[in-house]
Chain A
Amino acid sequence: MRGLRAGLLALLMVLGMAVFAAACGGDDDGGGGGSGGTPATKDDVDLTQGQDVTIAMVTHGDGGSFWAVAKKGAEDGAKQMGVTLKYSESNNDPQKQAQLIDAAVTEKVDGLAVSAPNPDALKDSLQKAVDAGIPVITLNSGADDYESLGAYTHVGQTEEIAGEGAGAKFKEAGAKKVLCIIHEQANIGLNQRCDGAKTGFGGDVENLQVKGTDDVQTTLTEIQSKLQADKSIDAVLALNPDIAVAARDAIKGAGSSAKLGTFDLSGDVVTAIQDGEIEFAIDQQQYLQGYLPVVFLTLNKTNANTVGGGQPVLTGPGFVTKDNAETVAQLAKDGTR
């Protein structure tokens, strides 16, 4: 018994150290931040080209396949610009997001990129950033509020217009009733997309709240039982690639012939489009939403450039259909689309 416990403890210690090493290894600039105590290695010099710029990106992301691409964009942007990136996600918790922004302001980062699904909640924290002289850009969510939040531009797509596009696409295909699947309780942008779809479709659009990306299996069951209960639904709009895949299986499982459209891409979604299982995907090109703010903020710091001229920089919407799916397929598998 005692031996077992000691063994367990040793295992945990090793695991702990492995995690620690992995965590530190993930970012070359690790804990050293700007301590300046350790001389920079040759690699650092090559990568940073002498720049000492730190950009913080705080999103409401959940680590799902959508945000993984945005994060990759931010990381690639940081690598190419030779700056340090501190990326963090709040998993839709506005209080945590505000606290993470506070932490970035404490660190006096050189630029701050923030997604703002709930602008009220971030107002105070972003004001602190502005007061501290940190340039701010909003990304992904916040197209209507970036100016009042003190951001000099917004990088993303407007939800309603993208939703309208999806609605119009279903109308074109001759659908009668659309089911719009909302996978995050508290994200206002998702409701705006469904509202937009209603406008663009001009007919019956019903919203369905599901469990979400945390629990795709339950979500699948929820969609399937909805389709079984209401046979008049002949079109389904998913707002996230993981949910779209679940919806595809749910449509099959329910024996329904509903047409499926989705927001955003993943490797699976593109394959499904090629196979004709998904009609279209609205691509907001979230890679750009990670990449561009890092580039813009770095240029702002090093060259005093302001991109956007006070207008948002739109990364979408674009449609991926069977026609152009081939090109996008490889890129989606690489995790950049």
Chain B
Amino acid sequence: MPIRPLTFRRYLLAITGWAAVWLVVSAAAVVLGAENIWAWPSWESARTVLGLRLYAVLTASAVGAALALAGLAFQALLRNPLADPFILGVSGGASLGVVLSSLFLSVLAAPLFGFVGALLTVGVVYAVAQRRGRLEPYTLLLSGVIINAFYGAAIMLVTALIDPESRGDVAYWMMGCISTFGARWWLVGVVGGLVVAAAVLFAFLAKGFNLVAVGEDTAGALGVPVDRLRLVTFVAASLVTGASVALAGPIGFVGLICPHLLRMVLGPDHRRLVPATVFLGASLLVVADLATRLLMGLGGQAPPVGVLTAMAGGPFFIYLLRTRWRRKTEIR
């Protein structure tokens, strides 16, 4: 498929198209669910359920878009196709922050501590994996593995020390779930707002992403302030990751799958990828959440959505490892 030049009109058209996909998926996820409410005699009850579903759809959209955007940004700036907030340990850092703040401070502080955890982790990953100003892809992934293991241990320590009644809650939350339980509309608003802000920011930085992808030296030579771009992007990606983890726990692989699917269709231009990633990330998680609700309706029990995304994402990661990564490292 030949890629035609990107005009403003085509840009708007593309955004509208991706938004339409998300809207259709969301509408389906409100109409369908664990119970067939359309056969109910009482409209009152049906309206209650519609409210629950709307909350789930908005939560899944905000979280999915946040993780996909963060994944896209990490992949661009770390120049590593396997980067993703979950794999790099950024979600893990956010989780530790959220768990600590929810248990010992207040739930209100959770997004803030999630952000701090995420940002600290990005800093550590970057410092560890960097060698003479260059990021080694192997080292980057390995440091992610180690950091994830460390956070896993820290959260297990916290779980072992708290009272047994809360253990189940923490363990369940760590699987990553879109819960309509104890609705927190304000937090959905916060995550949604941050996602929109980050999407606009990344849309303006997209050209810089493209040049960095070619090479940091080249980008610098062409006038891109690489250091500042990196700082701003990492802070923004950490913000949305931290807030989304506070809302739904660590949901993995959305940030990995989504940008890659889009690159296969749209090519490597980040000006096209940024808006598409927002809506596809949102749609993917809405679909995954709908799947869990349908399963619940069928069997009475359903896995948390994080389990579904990890089960789908694991094989996808291996596929990328066998194909894309080899090509990428050969170029270097």
A binds B: no
Q: A-contacting residues of B (Cβ < 8 Å)?
A: none
Q: B-contacting residues of A (Cβ < 8 Å)?
A: none
